[in-house]
Structure 1
């Protein structure tokens, strides 16, 4: 075989990263939303056990982002991205071929670990490419991340469609299709991703923890973690509301499509608005919208659901407000990370951000997941779990007012 087949290109093409996010999300959302149904119907697990498995999957991905980011800083993003694809393929194969509970649990965790390897690496590459684009007077870094989110949501819309088409053939076929998507992504990225610089020094634990020496950064990622916890409730709390309203799981698909369409239509305009308003205004507003999403469900929780499509109104409000909050929070939050980091440990900072989110999901679901049992049927007590959920992002909204204040002063000083 000619030698040039083994030579990656010398320059990074930013749209390649956007396309990778699209394909990765197609492969993810074609499988993971159907995992809970498989665990309940085929594996006969209880609701608490299903929540634990899904929580472990989330934590194995978000909680390992810090390691994935550090590995990207040390060994280069290209190799770590390719390894992440291989790990996720292995996880999907275990989900497809496993006949007992423990291979399924291991497969679910491997799917998360694979994402922990390739996601912070791609985000770090996009941050560097966005910085170069902005310095050249082209598209800003925040706008690149907004496009990144749009591509991700397009994949999140197409993925469940692919999964639904294959669901009638069994979850194993769905998982095999997801593995096939990542095999295709692996081959394309192998030949198109450029080589990235590697540090010659040995990998130590100390560089990972340097990200926590900045107290303001620690406060930021703790407050920001409420976003991932809140958005994760689309998998844990939203099905509870659908059951309370007498809806079926088939209504989950249209609700996810609604979220994706909102992001595709509004992400770029809201990103431009956020850039004009600044982080000190946008992040508190975004987290307030997350709190309002849960509060809107609490308003209906005690009432007997009406007949017809009106029964879905609380769920639609929840999905809409969560999505609007996400669209404001994510591009601004991602754009702030380089202000805390240097080029040498940018991946570790993005990893720390995601790892803290994984801890928040695991701890929050453990602390409040059981409370959602009270929300399964209409009653005065059914509103309490939703109010507890609303309190988490509300605290972050208040915290962001103070955390982002120095960035506002710096922006004003730079405009003089």
Structure 2
């Protein structure tokens, strides 16, 4: 009991609230958004292009929205940005239950992407504000585990509700966000938050853009993670099509792979991160890129469920190594008064979530799936060049300030 109490006590209560909220809200979001296109095709007379535009509005707005939200949190504080985003997200999901025209769905999903991109970098920055530097890698790993706990349960509930009451799933998600916001309002008022959350140093949005533009380390890191995302996003975009076309019960196998991916992250994130902490961040990210590329190459040889599972295991280990380390690297680069801005700038990595499906889809339509995975594996390995260049630039900058 004492060890549990000590483990819980090493982090600020607000950090635990954010982690629990991440499980609940991500689980609710995974219960609805993956099935939005199904809902639109069943209940709205929309063309596939309009459905694609509607679904794509969320990541499109999130690409630039994260930078703006992160900067605003540096300038005006974490609390107003986070709470405004959460209450608006509740409104968005309630709006989905009564929306009757395509314009409303496009607008609401655009707001969803914008507010999510405001909340995520701000919450990461607040976690860093409230956590000692030597424990931040553990916090980022816990956050990534929380995301995947939600991802392991949400789609199962969503698949059931999609066939029974899709509007109920929207209402549940909206209520989850609303309760989360209320709890945060209450606890932020009651609990003592260290003064370092706020900074007297402020910069304009123009100055923030110029700072990011001149930070080579951050720029290289973002480019590297964009390349990683281009490979990783194939899990959601082109892999299902390939499995369905090549394997009997391909859809069932794909569902099994998604579950394996989420469960591996939930149960292995902390043990692997504990080992990874003994190495330099750059070494961990490079090894992660190799594992992810190996997983993509493994998918190119899929001829049954055994090879598919092995490929997913390799890719997931790469995922576990890269993504929390990426957050820690951004934390290392960010000046204290610009932490939100830096985490917001990192949202530009979602460009890879656009480019990956497009490039993968083009390769799949003009060649075999094997060629697609090989090309994207090479692109993923290309991230190592930028990770290394960013790390070298970071070291050079640090030495020049001594």
Fold-level match, TM-score > 0.5?
Answer: yes
Contact 2:217 2:391 in 1 (8 A): no
Alignment of 1:241-252 (within 5 A): 241-244=242-245, 245-247=247-249, 249=251, 252=254
1:104-154 alpha-carbon deviations (Å, 9 max, x no partner): 22222222112111111110011122236x3xxxxx211111111112211
One of 164, 182, 185 as aligned partner of 2:177: 182
1:237-291 alpha-carbon deviations (Å, 9 max, x no partner): 2321232124364555433321121011111121122211212221111112222
1:207-234 alpha-carbon deviations (Å, 9 max, x no partner): 2431221112211111122233333333
Alignment of 1:182-201 (within 5 A): 182-193=177-188, 197=198
Contact 1:337 1:349 in 2 (8 A): yes
Q: 119-128 or 330-339: which moved more?
A: 330-339
* Residue segments in structure 2 that go unaligned for 5+ positions in a row: 1-11
* Displacement of 1:363: 3.3
Alignment of 1:347-358 (within 5 A): 347-355=340-348, 357-358=349-350
Higher share of residues assigned helix = 2
CA distance in 2, matches of 1:49, 1:389: 28
1:179-218 alpha-carbon deviations (Å, 9 max, x no partner): 1211111111111135753758684432243122111221
The answer as to 2:369 corresponding to 1:382 is: yes
* Displacement of 1:12: 5.6
The answer as to 2:363 corresponding to 1:371 is: yes
CA distance in 1, matches of 2:149, 2:187: 22
One of 349, 352, 366 as aligned partner of 1:360: 352
- Structure 2 match to 1:61: 62
CA distance in 2, matches of 1:321, 1:109: 34
1:24-64 alpha-carbon deviations (Å, 9 max, x no partner): 21121111121233344444666665554433322222431
Alignment of 1:46-57 (within 5 A): 50-57=51-58
The answer as to 2:308 corresponding to 1:296 is: no
Contact 1:56 1:362 in 2 (8 A): no
1:236 is paired with a residue whose SS is coil
* Displacement of 1:349: 0.4
- Structure 2 match to 1:28: 29
> What is the TM-score with the length of structure 2 in the denominator?
0.85
Contact 1:280 1:405 in 2 (8 A): no
Alpha-carbon spacing, 1:247–1:334, altered in 2? closer, same or farther (3 Å): same
- Structure 1 match to 2:280: 278
The answer as to 2:134 corresponding to 1:170 is: no
CA distance in 1, matches of 2:357, 2:284: 26
Contact 1:75 1:199 in 2 (8 A): no
Alpha-carbon spacing, 1:97–1:252, altered in 2? closer, same or farther (3 Å): farther
CA distance in 2, matches of 1:48, 1:314: 34
Alignment of 1:128-147 (within 5 A): 128-131=129-132, 134=134, 140-147=135-142
> What is the TM-score with the length of structure 1 in the denominator?
0.82
CA distance in 1, matches of 2:57, 2:301: 31
1:99 is paired with a residue whose SS is coil
- Structure 2 match to 1:338: 331
Q: 246-255 or 382-391: which moved more?
A: 246-255
1:358-387 alpha-carbon deviations (Å, 9 max, x no partner): 22322343344343345xxxxx72322222
Alpha-carbon spacing, 1:157–1:30, altered in 2? closer, same or farther (3 Å): same
The answer as to 2:3 corresponding to 1:16 is: no
- Structure 2 match to 1:404: 391
Alpha-carbon spacing, 1:372–1:173, altered in 2? closer, same or farther (3 Å): farther
Contact 2:27 2:151 in 1 (8 A): yes
- Structure 1 match to 2:8: none
CA distance in 2, matches of 1:162, 1:79: 32
Alpha-carbon spacing, 1:41–1:315, altered in 2? closer, same or farther (3 Å): farther
CA distance in 1, matches of 2:40, 2:28: 19
- Structure 1 match to 2:128: 127
CA distance in 1, matches of 2:98, 2:176: 17
CA distance in 2, matches of 1:65, 1:366: 22
Alpha-carbon spacing, 1:55–1:14, altered in 2? closer, same or farther (3 Å): same
Q: 332-341 or 193-202: which moved more?
A: 193-202
* Displacement of 1:94: 3.3
Alpha-carbon spacing, 1:220–1:125, altered in 2? closer, same or farther (3 Å): same
1:276 is paired with a residue whose SS is coil
* Residue segments in structure 1 that go unaligned for 5+ positions in a row: 1-10, 135-139, 375-379, 412-416
* Displacement of 1:81: 0.9
